[in-house]
């Protein structure tokens, strides 16, 4: 919670910020390990995010400061920028380099970042930082990119400049998020639908397992390969391009083509999870949170048993949730092997939930999780009033 960002800017730069921008983090509500299988994901923006305060300068340099990191930098205006080590300002430098390499005219800029998203926990603080920078530059220097251009540009920075091989979901959710809407998105075609998602008496609890996600990358690649194997087997009889081109009924008829039972389980998860996303969109738009919660639990079980990307930490959180009548549903979110779980929790029972899940987890795992209360928030934009979070 910070209400003093404008003062912090003056303290560091000796002048007032001319604009403040905000970009959220995101969670994926349902539709896990689907983006690389041609199906539907359903992320939403959360009410935690990144703030960027700016003031143009006449020195032809970009100055970077963040309240979250000690390193600061002054970088000249040129098109030859490369990633330097692991410093945080690689992200905004990458965005600036992209604008300059596209021939956009920029002016020097003094920047102050601050984020209240837990960093490095799978809530996409990186996409948030990229998109807030891209949005700000586009707005300040009328660079004439569309919102979708900003999404693609930010993803490209993360892939090519930073070197992280992420899909487009994170940047898309952060840029296109809307208050009380989930985004049902096909990451391949970029067709999407904003689904009314009034959480009513509930809020979105985010439970960070605080477990480092060491295995994530190698296991992720393994799952991508297994899905390709399953697809190749199904293609012997079916004219499809992606696993998600078929529904669960069709899968039942043709699953015999996939002879390896583990690979068959992976494909079953993908096909059924894609169906669950469609059911989840219906449930949310009908305000049927009980049904949505049921689908969340079913998604988790499938990720645990068929896709095998959960782990004792995430399972412990979801096991606890099942014992609490104030929780409508819960599941791991993100690639798995750690990171965060989400739960739909009655608003007035959140404090009790937070205490109890922490105690339960601590007893089983030996250290505490971090628990946050969020709502479904807006995507990137200009913040007009005094900064409050
Ligand atoms: P995640 O996206 O899951 O939060 P990543 O490792 O992909 O984790 O991205 C985290 C990185 O993004 C940080 O190490 C930092 O470089 C950058 N970042 C995120 N938030 C901020 C911030 N408020 N100020 C400066 N850099 C930030
Ligand atoms: Mg990230």
172 Cβ inside 6 Å of ligand 1? no
In the prediction, which pLDDT does 385 show?
67
pLDDT category of residue 384 using cuts at 50, 70 and 90? confident
List pLDDT tens digits, range 76-116.
Answer: 998 889 999 999 999 999 999 999 999 999 999 999 999 99
Helices 169-176 and 125-140 meet at what angle, rounded to 10?
50
Q: Is the pLDDT of residue 270 over 70?
A: yes
Residue 32 labeled ligand binder: yes
Q: What is the pLDDT of residue 217?
A: 77
Tell me the CA–centroid distance for residue 161 and ligand 1, in Å: 14
Find out whether 207 is annotated in a ligand binding site.
no
- For 190-238, the DSSP string reads --EEEEE---TTEEEEEEE------THHHHHHHHHHHHHHHHHHHTTT-
Query: For a substitution probing ligand 1, which of 72, 126, 132 has the most ligand atoms within 8 Å of its CB?
Result: 126
Residue linked to tokens 């079953």? 268
pLDDT recorded at residue 388:
44
Distance 194 CA to ligand 2 centre (A): 23
pLDDT of residue 95: 98
Q: Using alpha carbons, select from 174, 137, 134 the residue that is nearest to residue 154.
A: 134
Write down the pLDDT at residue 389. Answer: 44
pTM of the prediction? 0.96
Q: In ligand 1, which atom is closest to the CA atom of 66?
A: 24
| 170 catalytically annotated | yes
Q: In angstroms, rounded to a whole number, what is the distance separating the alpha carbons of residues 380 and 288?
A: 28
Distance CA 111, CA 52 (A): 7
Residue 350 Cβ < 6 Å to ligand 1: no
Q: Is 126 annotated as a binding residue?
A: yes
pLDDT classification of 136: cutoffs 50, 70, 90 = very high
Q: Which of 50, 53, 129, 169 to probe ligand 1 with, by most ligand atoms within 8 A of CB?
A: 129
Ligand 1: atom nearest CA of 164 is 7
Which residues hold their Cβ within 5 A of ligand 2, which is an ion? 126
In CATH, what number does 202-374 get? Answer: 3.30.70.890
Q: Which CATH number is correct for 5-197+377-383, 3.30.230.10, 3.50.50.60, 3.40.50.10260, 3.40.50.300?
A: 3.30.230.10
Are the C-beta atoms of 134 and 155 separated by less than 8 Å?
no
- Per-residue pLDDT tens digits for 190-215: 999 999 999 999 999 999 999 976 76
Burial code of 95-131, b = ≥16 C-beta within 10 A, e = fewer? bbbbbbeeebebebbbbbbbbbbbbebbbbbbbbbbb
Alpha-helix residue ranges (DSSP H) falling in 83-124: 90-101
Listed in sequence order, the residues at least 6 apart from 166 whose beta carbon sits closer than 8 Å to its beta carbon are: 127, 155, 158, 159
Looking at ligand 1, which residue's alpha carbon is closest to its atom 3? 122
Question: What residue spans define the domains of the chain?
Answer: 5-197+377-383, 202-374
Can you tell me which residue has the tokens 């340099």? 61
Q: Which of 170, 275, 315, 326 is catalytic?
A: 170
Say which residue the tokens 């409508």 belong to: 328
Count CB-CB contacts under 10 A for residue 348.
Answer: 10
pLDDT at position 387: 45
For 315-327, write each residue's pLDDT tens digit: 999 999 999 999 9
Task: Indicate if ligand 1 lies below 6 Å from the C-beta of 123.
Answer: yes
- C-alpha span between 299 and 295 (Å, rounded): 6
């Amino acid at each position: 919670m910070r209400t003093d960002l404008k003062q912090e800017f003056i303290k560091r730069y000796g002048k007032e910020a001319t604009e403040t921008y905000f970009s959220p983090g995101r969670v994926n509500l349902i539709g896990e390990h689907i983006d690389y299988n041609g199906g539907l994901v359903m992320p939403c923006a959360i009410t935690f995010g990144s703030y960027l305060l700016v003031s143009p300068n006449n020195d032809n340099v970009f100055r970077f400061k963040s309240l979250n990191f000690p390193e600061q930098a002054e970088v000249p205006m040129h098109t030859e920028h490369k990633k330097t080590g692991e410093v945080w300002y690689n992200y905004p430098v990458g965005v600036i380099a992209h604008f300059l390499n596209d021939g956009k005219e920029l002016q020097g800029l003094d920047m102050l970042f601050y984020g209240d998203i837990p960093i490095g926990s799978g809530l996409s603080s990186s996409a948030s930082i990229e998109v807030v920078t891209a949005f700000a530059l586009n707005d300040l220097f009328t660079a004439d990119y569309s919102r979708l251009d900003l999404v693609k540009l930010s993803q490209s920075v993360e892939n090519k400049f930073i070197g992280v091989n992420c899909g487009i979901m994170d940047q898309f959710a952060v840029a296109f998020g809307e208050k009380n809407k989930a985004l049902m998105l096909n990451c391949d075609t970029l067709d999407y639908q904003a689904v009314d998602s009034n959480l009513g008496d509930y809020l979105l609890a985010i439970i960070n397992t605080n477990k480092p996600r060491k295995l994530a990358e190698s296991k992720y690649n393994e799952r991508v390969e297994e899905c390709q194997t399953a697809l190749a087997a199904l293609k012997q009889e079916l004219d499809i391009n992606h696993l998600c081109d078929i529904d669960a009924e069709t899968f039942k008829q043709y699953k015999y083509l996939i002879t390896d039972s583990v690979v068959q389980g992976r494909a079953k998860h993908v096909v059924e999870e894609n169906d669950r996303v469609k059911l989840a969109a219906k449930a949310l738009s009908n305000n049927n949170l009980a049904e949505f919660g049921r689908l969340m639990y079913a998604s988790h079980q499938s990720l645990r048993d068929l896709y095998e990307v959960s782990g004792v930490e995430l399972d412990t959180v979801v096991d606890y949730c099942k014992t609490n009548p104030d929780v409508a549903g819960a599941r791991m979110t993100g690639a798995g092997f750690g990171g965060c779980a989400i739960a739909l929790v009655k608003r007035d029972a959140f404090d009790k939930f937070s205490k109890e899940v922490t105690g339960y987890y601590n007893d089983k795992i030996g250290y505490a999780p971090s628990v946050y209360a969020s709502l479904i928030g807006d995507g990137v934009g200009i913040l007009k009033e005094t900064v409050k979070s």
